[in-house]
Amino acid sequence: MESVTPLTLEVALNVQKELQQRFEETDRIRRQQVERAQYEADLAQRRYMQVDPDNRLVAESLEAQWNEKLCALEKAKEEYERLCQEDNLILNEEKQREILALATDFPRLWQNPHVSDRERKRMIRLLIEDVTLLVGKDIAVHVRFKGGATKTISVPKPKTGPETTRTKPEVIQEIDRLLDQHIDREVAAILNERGFRSSVRELRFNTSKVAAIRCKYQIKSRYERLREKGMLTVPEIARILNIHEETVRKWHKKGLLKRRAYTSYKYLFEPPVNEDYEKWKHFADRMLLKNC
């Protein structure tokens, strides 16, 4: 392991100092809160002790206020002790050694769950002199550290608002393929089950989202696909067979007509073929005899 230079050691010690000052300031604020709770509890006690015992209603009210302030004082003390213990976890000898190892073991210290984001920002300010950004196809980040050392890294440009909501091409292709056999609701469920998401924002699919993507990218709907295959509506089937529309639905229940869904509750029917006519005629004759 590389030895710690005076510069990096100084930086690490400055970080430690910054942390210590931060904790001391926080501790002062916490103690003031406890002192305030103690003052209010003492004040409530004096008020209760000075009340005329014969005035029972006032005495009971002041006693309740005193008990309330005592409970608040106890909670403030408990919270103060708890937070002090958490601070001690950060400032004990082990954590101080980690801070002194900042120059040679920075990643481990940075990822330590006991170090807050505020302290991480302070570490960065102590380590880095300035940062210059050059925006092109990507973003070039020129970092100048304390003491003059420099480093340049390249990072991808953040996505714009439209880019974060843009649906991935593979998702569009999958929706187009699934609509050959499924309605929008089923497509959404299949996409979610297979781990697809609707955009960079990682949103789950629902019926409305699939329909919106269809419209945006001009994908043929399930209805259009069925119509292209020659599927017919109830009025069209009824007109071809010269029967009532309700009879179309009855014949479907009897298995004489096949249908395909294009929404959760709407259907198109397969067109009749010649070999089915005898079955329909036989069924119709039976129905007429039954109704006689």
231-257 pLDDT per residue, tens: 999 999 888 888 888 888 888 888 888
Question: Where residue 292 falls among pLDDT bands split at 50, 70, 90?
Answer: very low
Q: What is the pTM of this model?
A: 0.42
Question: Where residue 44 falls among pLDDT bands split at 50, 70, 90?
Answer: confident
Question: Where residue 268 falls among pLDDT bands split at 50, 70, 90?
Answer: very high
User: Computed from CA positions of residues 91, 93, 96, 102, in that sequence, does the dihedral angle turn out positive or negative?
Assistant: negative
pLDDT at residue 180 in the model: 92
pLDDT at residue 49 in the model: 85
- Residues 6 or more apart whose CB falls under 8 angstroms from that of 8 comprise 102, 103, 104
> Please, what's the b/e burial string for 39-50 (b: 16 or more CB within 10 A of its CB; e: otherwise)?
ebbeebbeebee
Q: How far is the CA of 49 from the CAs of 60, 63, 71, 156, in angstroms?
A: 11, 9, 18, 70
pLDDT at residue 2 in the model: 40
The CATH number that domain 228-291 falls under is 1.10.1660
pLDDT at residue 93 in the model: 56
Which residue has better confidence, 290 or 84? 84
Tokens representing residue 235 in the block: 């009025």
Question: Where residue 280 falls among pLDDT bands split at 50, 70, 90?
Answer: low
Separation of alpha carbons 2 and 21, rounded Å: 29
